[in-house]
A and B are shown apart, each in its own frame.
Chain A
Amino acid sequence: MKILAIDSSGMPASVAVLEDGLLRAEYTVHYQRTHSQTLLPMMDEVRNMLGLELESVDAVAVAGGPGSFTGLRIGCATAKGIGLAIGRPLINVPTLEGMACNFYGTDCIVAAMMDARRNQVFAGIYAFRSDAEDADPLEVLMDQTPIDVKELCGRLDALAAERGRRVLLMGDGAVSYRSLIEENLTAAHWYAPAHLNEQKAGSVAMRAMDLVTVYGEEKMESAAEHRPVYLRVSQAERVRAQKAEGNE
């Protein structure tokens, strides 16, 4: 199976091609230019470098959220356009599961988090297992959700104690809220190094491959159906809902 993977959910733009057991290409740029300007030129470079025939791609994997609303939509609209153009399905990879796969096989509990402002992060808590052969190698201890940093630290302490493991913190949320984490997290922990801290499309492709292998084709969706998972309603909807509540 050949997977073309895209992640533009956060600050880095990343593109990868995974063919069965081989990562053919991974191209990640974290710079000031917008994903709208960088993503497709990067893909073009990868295509040219590999002499990639898009018809040979079986599925397009995309980090489907959470993330920056605009960033998600650029990646998503790109993936949907390619899916439509080549008649292939999409695989939606939850952003934080993809990120956790940067540490595939670790003994630590992985806390992947993206800064969601106001002392909140979009976070997911994961562990890897190697025992059961057909099982999902990624164990979801807390599904990705918006959460206060303090509350997240409490959850991590409980899980670390229960499992007797250290905690590995990753993502731009772990950088933004480091002092708040230091104040609140008591379990033994460490921070991801720079080269593994952020989104990588190779990990998105890997997670997509696992999702399809373990759960089957139900993890694929048509390019038309796919939409980002924001995990947050728009501000206008939130204000409107609050007003409606106030009127009751």
Chain B
Amino acid sequence: MSDVKILAIESSCDETAASVVVNGRDVRSNIISSQIDIHTLYGGVVPEIASRKHIERINQVVQEALDQAKMTLDDIDAVGVTYGPGLVGALLVGVAQAKALAWARNLPLIGVHHIEGHISANYIENKELEPPFGCLVVSGGHTHLVLVKDYGEYEILGKTADDAAGEAFDKVARAIGLGYPGGPKIDKAAKDGDPHAIEFPRGKVRGSEYDFSFSGLKSAVLNYLNEKHMKGEEISVPDVAASFQRSVVDVLVEHSMHAVNEYGFKKFAIAGGVASNSALRQAMEEACARRHVQFYRPSPILCTDNAAMIGAAAYYDYLKGIRSDWSLNAVPNLKLGER
């Protein structure tokens, strides 16, 4: 079979991204135009501003992805695009652009689930990785423990009952004055702190062993800060950051390893923005090594929202003959495994 070259587009949140991926794993370009500077002014992503920025950048980002791959649209075999979940206005820019490109060029169109993209990011740098495996997807908007049965076939074992892990990082970072985005800032501050300085609770969801809850932990941190403030005592930002982070990482690793034991996974992967967190990577790697489980994690550039991962996921859908039609819409609350 000849090579399959997919142009992929991702605009579900605050990154405008495009990529050319050959045969699902060979990334020829991975262009990401981040809007983080502007959203930092507002302490978080503002949907209307994100949508406006996407439309200003989309053509340039797509063109750059083609240029860097040394290709033109003539070389492309299919167009892949994130159609959910995410911010509806932001998703619509990528979806409308991808549809128009595919339609005008008579190319197949493949709508991709954002989380499926994150999971598929692991295929790019690990050519030998194939399903089945277990995967923990952790980002600003998602916390999912997933059984990857086959390409495009997923079973969600657990998810968050309230805040996503990354959301908890953002909220705590704001409370201790580190600002936005919380993930990298807490990771950095925690390096100088004592993770055992403060005992914060581990979130549990009664009756569902794989589900997560981070709102209680977030409240515990806020209560701690408030208590210290009332007493007029100083807090140690590195200690709070390190202790909070340990609490999140402990729960993520514990649930993941519980699934590893129960399902007998030989391979386990992490994905999503929070998969860049150094404490999580280290703890997960150690936990997997103890169980002789092969551990996979994408490089940070493939953990953040990007289009290369969408190209990887789109490729396996392409092989299965999955196509979207011209009425493809953005679906902000799209469930994993649904079409």
Contact = CB atoms under 8 A, between A and B. Distances in A.
A84 B48 contact: no
A43 interface: yes
Contacts of A79: 100
A236 B329 contact: no
Interface in A94-149: none
Contacts of B59: 80-81, 83-84, 223-224
A3 interface: no
Contacts of A80: 55, 58-59, 97, 100
A227 B154 CA distance: 38
Contact of A84 (B41, B46, B88, B101): B101
A55 B103 CA distance: 13
B327 interface: yes
A124 to B, nearest CB: 22
Interface string B80-104: 0000000011001111111111011
Given A36-B96, A41-B326, A69 B51 contact: yes
Nearest to A47: B103
B49 A237 contact: yes
Nearest to A83: B59
Contacts of B103: 40, 43-44, 81-82
Interface string B307-339: 000000000000000000111111000000000
Nearest to B49: A234
Contacts of A83: 59
A76 interface: yes
Nearest to A69: B48
B282 interface: no
A142 B60 CA distance: 34
Nearest to A55: B104
B326 A81 contact: no
A38 B56 CA distance: 23
A180 interface: no
B104 A85 contact: yes
B23 interface: no
A235 B89 CA distance: 15
Nearest to A224: B59
A81 B104 contact: yes
Contacts of B55: 73, 76-77, 80, 227-228
A179 interface: no
A184 interface: no
A78 interface: yes
Contact of B104 (A73, A82, A224, A230): A82
Contacts of A224: 59-60, 63
Interface string A46-87: 000000001000000000000001100110111111111110
A54 to B, nearest CB: 5
A54 B97 CA distance: 16
A41 B327 contact: yes
B62 interface: yes
B73 interface: yes
Contacts of B88: 70
Contacts of B95: 36
A236 B49 contact: yes
Contacts of A40: 96, 99-100, 103, 326-327
A38 B329 CA distance: 9
Contacts of B93: 73, 77
Contacts of A86: 104
Contacts of A36: 92, 95-96, 328-330
B105 interface: yes
Contact of B92 (A43, A44, A70): A70
Nearest to B103: A40
Contacts of B327: 37-38, 40-41
A23 B248 CA distance: 62
Given A40-B96, A81-B103, 20 more contacts: A34-B329, A36-B95, A40-B103, A40-B327, A41-B327, A70-B89, A73-B93, A73-B96, A74-B92, A76-B55, A77-B94, A77-B96, A78-B99, A81-B59, A81-B101, A82-B103, A234-B46, A234-B52, A236-B46, A240-B42
9 contacts: A44-B103, A77-B92, A77-B93, A77-B94, A80-B97, A86-B104, A224-B63, A227-B56, A234-B46
Q: Sorted from nearest, which 8 A-B pairs have the closest CB atoms?
A: A81-B100, A85-B104, A77-B96, A234-B48, A224-B59, A40-B326, A236-B46, A81-B97
